[in-house]
Chains A and B, each alone.
Chain A
Amino acid sequence: MATETSTRSVVPQGTLYRGREGMWSWVAHRITGLLIFVFLLVHVLDTSLVRVAPEAYNAVIETYKNPVVGLGEAGLVGAVLFHAFNGIRVMLVDFWSQGPRFHRQMLWAVGALWVLLMVPFLVRHLSNVFGG
């Protein structure tokens, strides 16, 4: 099937498709999913150091305690929360008979919930990261 695709004379596409909320939430879902997957691989590897020696684990964790990684962690939590809530939205679209009708409203709910949880988290997390 892939070989056929390469022989097809699809002319280079023009502008970006101007999809709406549904399309962009799907794009964001993909990107955050990929990001979380890559993080997960690293996270399991570094956590595995607890099996090597307490010092080895503590040493690696110590290198993470700087503002750059701290901000990265905040971004990661943001990605996880979006992926989680948008995932629930996708499930509602798939399993709730009224889901397709209210998909846009549900995306606003996802956004609201995300902000609602991110604000206290950022206050707590960033004061840890920057407050020492």
Chain B
Amino acid sequence: MSSTDSEAVEAAADRNDEQVDGDGRPHGRAGESASADGGQLGAIPRFDVTLRIRRYSAEDAEDGKPAEARWQEFTVTVNGTDRVLDALHKIKWEQDGSLTFRRSCAHGVCGSDAMRINGVNRLACKVLVKDVNPDKPITVEPIKGLPVEKDLVVDMEPFFQSYREVMPFLITSGHEPTRERKQSQEERARFDDTTKCILCAACTSSCPVFWTDGQYFGPAAIVNAHRFIFDSRDEGADVRLEVLNDREGVWRCRTTFNCSEACPRGIQVTKAIHEVKRALLTRSV
């Protein structure tokens, strides 16, 4: 799939140990080249950046008082090619091993490291430090609306609960065909956008309605319902639409577009929700 390919290219370009600059010319390790001759052509600039991180640990509780979140600043030297995730790694490995965050693939595919960087939901592995104004301290906070477990790690269970409730799997009746279930290119294109979801929760935790009480199904659950509702091979559309007709379902969407802007995969989330609303209004897919 083309989106996967572009993802891989982006990820490679983001890697800080890549010893090829924008023009494809090889050079030495970024740090060495810059410090050795102070600005060799094509050298990767190095600079200091301050990260202002929202810290929380239940273990900080004192005398029966619950623990409170606090801000802590760290200053690290990063390469111009470093991502926010690399800066977090540097802090964890070199300054404070207790800093806690999730990350797995670190290349924008697994969706583990969604966090709030300078006030907006991003994947830490897809944001270059140089792109978020490193002149000022970069604030890093956990995503909103989900219970914080420690530092940047939140309890994703409410999020996955909603995901499970929309039944994100193929529902069919009758005999399983001996060959593949056929689908035209037009039929496939209807839900192409919503197949890209990596369940990072950047959209759901950017939604002002979700922040209020966490009961709203949230954009991600609706996106994943959309993926099957508009799949011509699936027969469970009515059931899923009924689930999303709930008082906590699609009708709580207030079209703030925070979700569409937060999605690291560029899914047009608000548009997908809009299509589900229309399907519910007309009771036809």
Residues of A within 8 A of B (CB): 1-2, 5, 8-23, 25-26, 90, 93-94, 99-101, 103
**Is A19 touching B277 in the complex (CB atoms < 8 A)?**
no
Nearest CB in chain A: distance from B23 CB, A: 34
A-B contact pairs, 11 of them (CB 8 A): A10-B147, A10-B148, A13-B141, A17-B119, A20-B258, A22-B258, A23-B208, A23-B256, A23-B257, A93-B270, A101-B271
**Is B118 touching A18 in the complex (CB atoms < 8 A)?**
yes
Q: Which of B142, B256, B274 contacts A26 (CB 8 A)?
A: B256
**Is A23 touching B270 in the complex (CB atoms < 8 A)?**
no
**Is B213 touching A14 in the complex (CB atoms < 8 A)?**
no
Nearest CB in chain A: distance from B266 CB, A: 13
Nearest CB in chain B: distance from A21 CB, A: 8
**Bound Cα distance from A64 to B74, whole angstroms:** 57
**Is A1 touching B116 in the complex (CB atoms < 8 A)?**
no
Residue numbers in A under 8 Å from B141 (CB-CB):
13-15
**Is B120 touching A18 in the complex (CB atoms < 8 A)?**
yes
User: Taking the complex as formed, is B268 at the interface, i.e. its CB lies under 8 A from any CB of chain A?
Assistant: yes
**Bound Cα distance from A7 to B160, whole angstroms:** 19
A100-B274 in contact given A10-B148, A17-B144 (Cβ < 8 Å): yes
**Is B260 touching A11 in the complex (CB atoms < 8 A)?**
no
Q: Which of B119, B258, B270 contacts A15 (CB 8 A)?
A: B119
**Is B148 touching A26 in the complex (CB atoms < 8 A)?**
no
Question: Please, what's the 1-or-0 string for B68-87, where 1 marks a CB less than 8 Å from any CB in chain A?
Answer: 11010000000000000000
User: Taking the complex as formed, is B50 at the interface, i.e. its CB lies under 8 A from any CB of chain A?
Assistant: no
Residue of A nearest to B140 (CB): A14
**Is B206 touching A13 in the complex (CB atoms < 8 A)?**
no
Residues of B within 8 A of A (CB): 54, 56, 58, 66, 68-69, 71, 116, 118-120, 139, 141-142, 144-148, 206, 208, 211, 213-215, 254-258, 260-261, 268, 270-271, 274, 277
User: Which 10 pairs between the two chains have the least Cβ-Cβ distance?
Assistant: A22-B257, A18-B119, A11-B148, A100-B271, A14-B141, A23-B256, A26-B256, A11-B69, A22-B256, A14-B54
**Bound Cα distance from A94 to B271, whole angstroms:** 9
Residue numbers in B under 8 Å from A17 (CB-CB):
116, 119-120, 144, 206, 208, 211, 258
Residue numbers in A under 8 Å from B116 (CB-CB):
14-15, 17
A26-B213 in contact given A12-B68, A17-B144 (Cβ < 8 Å): no
Nearest CB in chain A: distance from B36 CB, A: 39
**Bound Cα distance from A94 to B257, whole angstroms:** 12
Residue numbers in A under 8 Å from B211 (CB-CB):
13, 17
4 other contacts beyond A2-B213, A22-B270, with CB at 8 A cut-off? A14-B139, A17-B120, A26-B255, A100-B274
Select the residue from B147, B257, B270 with max chain A CB neighbours within 10 A.
Answer: B257
**Bound Cα distance from A9 to B58, whole angstroms:** 10
Residue numbers in A under 8 Å from B148 (CB-CB):
9-11
A20-B261 in contact given A12-B69, A93-B255 (Cβ < 8 Å): yes
**Is B119 touching A103 in the complex (CB atoms < 8 A)?**
no
Residue numbers in B under 8 Å from A93 (CB-CB):
255, 270, 274
Nearest CB in chain A: distance from B143 CB, A: 10
**Bound Cα distance from A93 to B257, whole angstroms:** 10
Residue numbers in B under 8 Å from A9 (CB-CB):
58, 66, 147-148
